[in-house]
Amino acid sequence: MENRSVNQSEMLSRIVRAVILIIVSLILSVVAVSFAVHHMRLQFESEFKGISDTKIQQVSDIVKMTIKGDEIIADSSSAAVKYSEVLGLMLAPTSSEKVTTASYGLFLYSEGQLTMILSHGADSEDSFAVTGRDISEWMSADNSSATIEGDNFESVLVPVADSTGRCVAVFEYKCSFKDLTDLGNDIEGRILSAVIISVCCGIVLFIIQLFIPRIIKMSSKGGQRL
């Protein structure tokens, strides 16, 4: 009787140690994979945003060479039609993979007020960063470009000057990274789910190989007694 109690106690102790070991292994596996995947995701997003920064700078240079402030002052409606067609061709998407969303708008600047005269890829003028910023954040004496970063987006603001050097308009090119972030969340979630499922399968197999031989052994002993 005592031997049986000792054996049961020893078996219970082994089971408890095995359960603790499984739980610790599960936690360590999930944490390790989560850290590795998240680190790779951040590195990928950083590299991708670096490419976007280059494109944004190129767009800024294109706008400076293309848009003329005198034409906007002379007839803003005609200028809007002209530059809508020109910019539509020059800034057309070059890739079919849409992990970022680009939009741009041209705003007439007069007496401290901004009036949107053309836009592409945006629902309203409130979608642009320039409408919610103080003028001092993008206007400078030399009409240099300004970059604004926010949650999941980056915008470049390009002041447009007339022949006298006076700022008469501002162009904004906005790149949204929401789709990129959603893609990263989706991939990260799928990988973690796969790891958890794999670990759970390993636990089930461990339990099976631990208890099946004992059950078979007990069954064989019962059969011999009969």
Instruction: Count the domains in the chain.
Output: 2
10-residue mean pLDDT profile of the chain (226 residues): values are: 59 72 75 79 77 81 88 90 86 65 89 88 85 85 86 88 90 86 81 78 74 67 51
152 shares its domain with 209:
no
pLDDT score for 201: 79
In a domain, 36, yes or no: yes
* Angstrom distance (rounded) from CA 130 to CA 128: 6
Overall pTM surpassing 0.85 (yes/no): no
pLDDT score for 226: 46
* Angstrom distance (rounded) from CA 174 to CA 157: 9
Report the CATH number at residue 88: 3.30.450
In a domain, 80, yes or no: yes
Expressed as residue numbers, the domain containing 83 is 67-177
